[in-house]
Amino acid sequence: MLIAKRLATLTTGLVLGLLSEHASAQNGWPAPVAMKGTIPNNPIAQTLDPALIRRQSDNKLFLYTTGKNGSVWTANSLYGPWTHEGTAKFREYGGAPSIHRIGDTYYVYINNHEFDYSTVGVTDPAIHTWAHNSSLLVASSKTLEIGDWKWHGRLEIDWAKRYNILDAALLTIEEGGKRRNLLSFGSYQQGIFQLPLADPPIKIADGANKNINHLANNKTSAFPNGPTEAAYIFKWQDWYYLFTSSGRCCKQPDGHWVDRGDVYKVMVCRSKRPGGGFVDDKGVDCANNSGGKEILGTHNNIWAPGGQGVLVDDEAGGPIIYYHYVPYDVQSKTPANEFRFGWNKLDFSSGWPVVAK
Ligand SMILES: *[C@@H]1O[C@H](CO)[C@@H](O)[C@H](O)[C@H]1NC(C)=O
Ligand SMILES: *[C@@H]1O[C@H](CO)[C@@H](O)[C@H](O)[C@H]1NC(C)=O
Ligand SMILES: *[C@@H]1O[C@H](CO)[C@@H](O)[C@H](O)[C@H]1NC(C)=O
Ligand SMILES: *[C@@H]1O[C@H](CO)[C@@H](O)[C@H](O)[C@H]1NC(C)=O
């Protein structure tokens, strides 16, 4: 997620300021599942950019976030009670953690918003702006505990001014005894990209910079450089599903939110292969033709849901989508000044994910 206050240069003159109420029907989207503990209903529960994972050894859930300096929560049940464990040391870099397990090891990817690309020979002056100076860092752990991450440094993804290198998510595919690690990332400006990582996935694969796929983009956006970010690819039965967050995550630099149709919402595209060919439910190409099926948007007292991930969990009896959202006061028509964590089951029976009660 690219934090709004850092986007002054991109957004000048584009702020709408007023929240129009005409917009979207409620679409029958359910409220997030009720939970106990410090999530929800607690002011420290700033769960921006959640990454949710269950530890294999004892089934304990870990929720890493960007919010409040990288707050981390744990629970034994998805329904809570959730306990605030403290803060990860990621925030100093930028956040948006994404955590994945391969065998007995967990990997986290986080945004580092201020890498100096001149140190690797890039001369374009754009490298010194927020929209272009992000990079991704990777760490690994056997325990998921806050203090137990080993850092492996920066992923050496080629800087190119057409995208911002942030918001990673890993897809691991096992095929005939071989493992492929594909990292999606990006980008705010030109959508979602993907490249192969090595195995273990602590650096890019040999030749990966010549093999970057473009998976999704929104050229119809009300904003130049259409904002699409926070990708998550999830395989279910015969399909690869690409979940993205489209629109503005956060308030604009002047403190206003943009119109409800242009704030974060969760889009899905699908393909039979992981590296491209993603289309929406109408067959519209998501990379070249701005396709995308909206599966969760602003509704009732939920504002700007996004930053999503997918987890298959026995307790929930299958796949769930988890996300952050902003509580919205329907009476005063005001989004709150905080981010909360929510999750719901996903029903894939139609071939497309439906957010279920
Ligand atoms: C976050 O970290 C900054 C810098 O270390 C500190 O000033 C601030 O109080 C911290 N905020 C919270 C909510 O912990
Ligand atoms: C990143 O961008 C910000 C905002 O433009 C700038 O202040 C900062 O110096 C940049 N950092 C680097 C290392 O380029
Ligand atoms: C593209 O952006 C427009 C304007 O914000 C929005 O209405 C539309 O839903 C977006 N489409 C996708 C696929 O993200
Ligand atoms: C989008 O366009 C590129 C370049 O023309 C092409 O290689 C790719 O196959 C297209 N994507 C889809 C999903 O058709």
Q: How far is the CA of 135 from the centre of ligand 2 (A)?
A: 12
Nearest-ligand number for the alpha carbon of 275: 4
Q: Point out the ligand 4 atom lying closest to the alpha carbon of residue 277.
A: 13
In b/e form, how buried is each residue of 190-201, taking b as 16+ CB within 10 angstroms?
bbbbbbbbeeeb
Does residue 1 lie within any of the structural domains? no
Q: Is 128 in the pocket of ligand 2 (CB under 6 A)?
A: yes
Residue 320 inside a domain? The answer is yes
Using pLDDT thresholds of 50, 70 and 90, give the confidence band for residue 100: very high
Q: Which long-range contacts (CB under 8 A, 24 or more apart) does 63-70 make?
A: 63/39, 63/341, 64/88, 64/90, 64/97, 64/99, 64/108, 65/95, 65/97, 65/324, 65/341, 66/1, 66/90, 66/91, 66/94, 66/95, 66/96, 66/97, 67/324, 67/339, 68/44, 70/95, 70/97
**CA–CA distance, 78 with 143 (Å, rounded to integer):** 19
Nearest to 39 by CA among 5, 68, 59: 68
Residue 258 lies in a domain: yes
pLDDT at position 21? 35
What is the domain-level CATH number for residue 204?
2.115.10.20
Q: How far apart are CA 103 and CA 192, in angstroms?
A: 27
Element (H, E) at 99: strand 94-102
The average pLDDT across 310-332 equals: 97
Taking the CB of residue 21, how many other CB atoms lie within 10 A of it?
A: 9
N residues, the chain = 357
Asked if residue 17 is part of any domain, the answer here is: no
49: phi > 0 → left, psi -120 to 50 → alpha, else beta; which? left
Alpha-carbon distance of 91 to 70, in angstroms, equals 5
Q: Is residue 21 part of a domain?
A: no
Bridge partners of 183, per DSSP, are 170, 195
Atom of ligand 4 nearest to the CA of 286: 13
Check residue 108 and give its pLDDT. 97
Least confident of 21-35, 163-177, 277-291, 304-318: 21-35
Q: Cα–Cα distance between 279 and 289 in angstroms, integer?
A: 9
What pLDDT is recorded for position 70? Answer: 84
Confidence of residue 298 (pLDDT cuts 50, 70, 90): very high
Which position among 85, 124, 145, 229 bears the catalytic label?
Answer: 229
For the cut 60, the answer to whether the pLDDT of residue 285 exceeds it is yes
338 is catalytic: no
Weakest mean pLDDT among 88-97, 138-147, 227-236, 331-340 = 88-97
Closest C-alpha to ligand 4, atom 5 = 288
The residue with greater pLDDT, 333 or 189, is 333
Quick check: is 223 in a domain?
yes
Q: Is 159 left (phi over 0), alpha (psi -120 to 50) or beta?
A: beta
CA of 8 to the centre of ligand 2 (A): 13
Q: Which domain holds residue 262?
A: 31-356
pLDDT value at 72 more than 80? yes
* pLDDT of 6 over the 70 cut: no
Residue 5 predicted with pLDDT over 90: no
Nearest protein CA to atom 3 of ligand 1, as residue = 69
Output b/e per residue, 295-332; b: 16+ Cβ within 10 A. Answer: bbbbbeebbbbbbbbbbebeebeebbbbbbbbbbeeee
Residue (of 313, 311, 344) closest to 34 by Cα position: 344
What percent of the chain has pLDDT above 70?
Answer: 88
Asked whether residue 177 is assigned to any structural domain, the reply reads yes
What was the pLDDT predicted at 311? 98
Q: How far is the CA of 209 from the centre of ligand 2 (A)?
A: 24
What pLDDT was estimated at residue 13? 26
Q: In the predicted model, is pLDDT for residue 11 greater than 70?
A: no
CB atoms within 10 A of CB 89: 14
Instruction: Say if 5 falls within a structural domain.
Output: no
Residue nearest to atom 13 of ligand 1 (CA): 68
User: What's the confidence (pLDDT) of residue 26?
Assistant: 52
67 C-alpha to ligand 1 centroid (Å): 11
Mean pLDDT of 160-180: 92
pLDDT of residue 18: 31
Q: Which ligand is nearest to the CA of 126?
A: 2
Arithmetic mean of pLDDT, 253-263: 91
Residue nearest to atom 7 of ligand 1 (CA): 69
Reduced to 3 states (helix: H, G, I; strand: E, B; else coil), residue 71 is strand
State how far the Cα of 156 lies from the Cα of 195, in Å rounded to an integer. Answer: 11
Mean pLDDT for 64-81 is 90
Q: Is the CB of 287 under 6 A from ligand 4?
A: yes
Lowest mean pLDDT among 16-20, 279-283, 303-307: 16-20
The total number of structural domains that make up the chain: 1
Q: Which residues line ligand 3 (CB under 6 A)?
A: 218, 220-222, 226, 228, 246-247, 261-262, 267, 290, 292
Task: Please indicate whether residue 329 is annotated as part of the active site.
Answer: no
Strand partners, 296: 266
| Gap between the Cα atoms of 105 and 288, Å rounded | 36
Half-sphere exposure of 187 (CA within 13 A, CB side): 27
The tokens of 235 are what?
């395989």
- β-pairing, 213-216 with 192-197? antiparallel
Burial class (CB within 10 angstroms; exposed 0-12, middle 13-18, buried 19+) of 104: exposed
| Residue 210: Cβ-neighbour burial (10 angstroms; 0-12, 13-18, 19+) | exposed
R_g over Cα of the chain: 19
